[in-house]
Amino acid sequence: MSNISQDWESKPTEEILEGIRSQPVKWLIQTQSTGSTTRSPNFFYPLQKDLVSVIIPAFNAEPFLANAIASVWRQKLPDSLDIEILIIDDGSSDGTYELALTMAHTSPYQMHVLQHKGGVNRGVSASRNLGILEAKGEWISFLDADDAFLPEKTWLQVEWLKQHPKYVCICSYGYNIDESGSPTTGWNGTTISGDYQSIDESVRLKEPYTFKELENGCPVVNSTFLTHRKALLWSGLLSELIAHQAEDWILFAKISLKWDIPVLKQPLIKYRIHSSSWTTQYFIGGFEAGVKLEFLFEITHWLFSKPDLSEFARSYYRKNFPRYFSSLAKVSSLIDMYSTEYLPNNNAQNQHSSTSYLSNDDYTKCLMLLERDLENMQTFKKYKRLLEKVRLFSVLKKFSKFF
Task: pLDDT tens for the chain, 403 residues: list them.
Answer: 344 444 545 566 667 666 666 665 555 555 554 554 556 789 999 999 999 999 999 999 999 999 999 999 999 999 999 999 999 999 999 999 999 999 999 999 999 999 999 999 999 999 999 999 999 999 999 999 999 999 999 999 999 999 999 999 999 999 999 988 999 988 777 899 998 877 667 667 788 999 999 988 888 999 999 999 999 999 999 988 776 668 899 999 999 999 999 999 999 999 998 655 555 555 555 566 677 778 888 888 888 888 899 889 888 888 887 766 665 555 556 556 555 555 555 444 444 444 444 455 655 565 565 555 554 445 545 555 544 444 444 433 433 333 3
In a domain, 21, yes or no: yes
Q: Are residues 246 and 389 in the same domain?
A: no
Cα separation, 147 vs 270, in Å, equals 6
Domain boundary among 237, 258, 285: 285
What pLDDT does residue 304 have?
83
Q: Are residues 77 and 151 in the same domain?
A: yes
Task: Enumerate long-range contacts of 201-210, CB under 8 Å, 24 or more apart.
Answer: 207/262, 207/263, 208/167, 208/260, 208/261, 208/262, 208/263, 209/171, 209/252, 209/256, 209/260, 209/261, 209/262, 209/263, 210/256, 210/260
In a domain, 308, yes or no: no
In a domain, 225, yes or no: yes
Q: Domain count of the chain?
A: 3
What pLDDT does residue 192 have?
93
Are the CB atoms for 226 and 143 separated by under 8 Å? no
Domain boundary among 233, 264, 285: 285
Q: Are residues 117 and 249 in the same domain?
A: yes
In a domain, 41, yes or no: no
Domain boundary among 237, 263, 285: 285
Are the CB atoms for 281 and 291 separated by under 8 Å? no
Cα dihedral 200, 202, 203, 208 sign? positive
Q: Are residues 200 and 324 in the same domain?
A: no
Q: Are residues 226 and 196 in the same domain?
A: yes
Alpha carbon distance, N-terminus to C-terminus of the chain: 16
What pLDDT does residue 112 have?
98
Q: What b/e string do you get for 237-260 counting C-beta neighbours within 10 Å, with b at 16 or more?
A: bbbbbbebbbbbbbbbbbbbbebb
In a domain, 39, yes or no: no
Range of the domain at 268: 48-285
What pLDDT does residue 190 have?
86
- Peptide bond preceding 208: is omega within 30 degrees of 0, i.e. cis? yes
DSSP state of 91: S
Q: Are residues 7 and 54 in the same domain?
A: no
Q: Are residues 121 and 58 in the same domain?
A: yes
Cα separation, 398 vs 46, in Å, equals 49
In a domain, 79, yes or no: yes
In a domain, 297, yes or no: no
- CATH number reported for the structural domain that contains residue 212 in this entry: 3.90.550.10
Q: Are residues 54 and 24 in the same domain?
A: no
Q: Are residues 146 and 63 in the same domain?
A: yes
DSSP state of 205: P
Are the CB atoms for 45 and 136 separated by under 8 Å? yes
Three-point CA angle 165, 253, 297, nearest 5°: 155
In a domain, 314, yes or no: no
What pLDDT does residue 334 have?
57
Q: Are residues 10 and 90 in the same domain?
A: no
Q: Are residues 21 and 75 in the same domain?
A: no
Q: Are residues 26 and 71 in the same domain?
A: no
Residue type, 292: K
